[in-house]
Amino acid sequence: MSNVAVVGAQWGDEGKGKIVDWLAARADVVVRFQGGHNAGHTLVVGEETYKLSLLPSGVVRGQLSIIGNGVVVDPWALLAEITQLQSQGVTVTPEQLLLSDSAVLILPLHQRLDGIREGQRGDRKLGTTGRGIGPAYEDKAGRRAVRVCDLTDHDVLKQKIADLLAHHNAYLRGVGEDEESSDALLAKLQQVAPLILPFAGRSWARLDDMRRRGRRILFEGAQAAMLDIDHGTYPFVTSSNTVAGQAATGSGIGPTAIGYVLGIAKAYTTRVGTGPFPTELDDEIGTLLGERGHEFGTVTGRKRRCGWFDAVMVRQAIKVGGVSGIALTKLDVLDGLEEIKVCVGYSLNGEKLDYLPANPAAQAAVQPVYETVEGWSESTRGARSWAQLPANAIKYIRRIEELIAAPVGMVSTSPEREDTILVQDPFAD
Residue 259 backbone phi and psi in degrees, to 5? -95, -30
Kindly name the residue from 13, 74, 139, 419 that is annotated as catalytic: 13
Residue-wise over 211-229: b if at least 16 C-beta within 10 A, else e? beeeebbbbbbbbbbbbbb
In the chain, what is the straight-line distance between the N-terminal and C-terminal CA atoms, in Å?
5
Q: Is 13 a catalytic residue?
A: yes
Q: Shortest CA distance to 310 belongs to which of 350, 353, 363, 346?
A: 346
Q: Residue 343: beta bridge partners?
A: 310, 370
Kindly name the residue from 37, 41, 168, 231 that is annotated as catalytic: 41
CB atoms within 10 A of CB 86: 12
- Cα angle: 421, vertex 24, 87; to 5 degrees: 115
Q: Let me know: does 130 contact 106? Beta carbons within 8 Å.
A: no
In 349-403 the beta strands, taken as DSSP E runs, fall at 351-353, 367-374
Q: List Cα–Cα distances, 294 to 267, 330, 409, in angstroms.
A: 14, 10, 24
Q: Let me know: does 34 contact 8? Beta carbons within 8 Å.
A: no
Q: Shortest CA distance to 43 belongs to which of 26, 28, 29, 23?
A: 23
CA distance linking residue 300 with residue 4, whole number of Å: 28
Element (DSSP H or E) covering residue 196: helix 182-196
CA distance linking residue 103 with residue 70, whole number of Å: 6
Counting Cβ atoms within 10 Å, is residue 79 exposed (0-12), middle (13-18) or buried (19+)? middle
Q: Which amino acid is at 369?
A: V
Residue-wise over 279-304: b if at least 16 C-beta within 10 A, else e? bbbeeebbebbbebbebebebbeeeb
CA distance linking residue 107 with residue 243, whole number of Å: 26
The radius of gyration of the chain from alpha carbons, rounded to an integer in Å, stands at: 22
Q: Let me know: does 266 contact 272? Beta carbons within 8 Å.
A: no
Tell me the catalytic residues: 13, 41
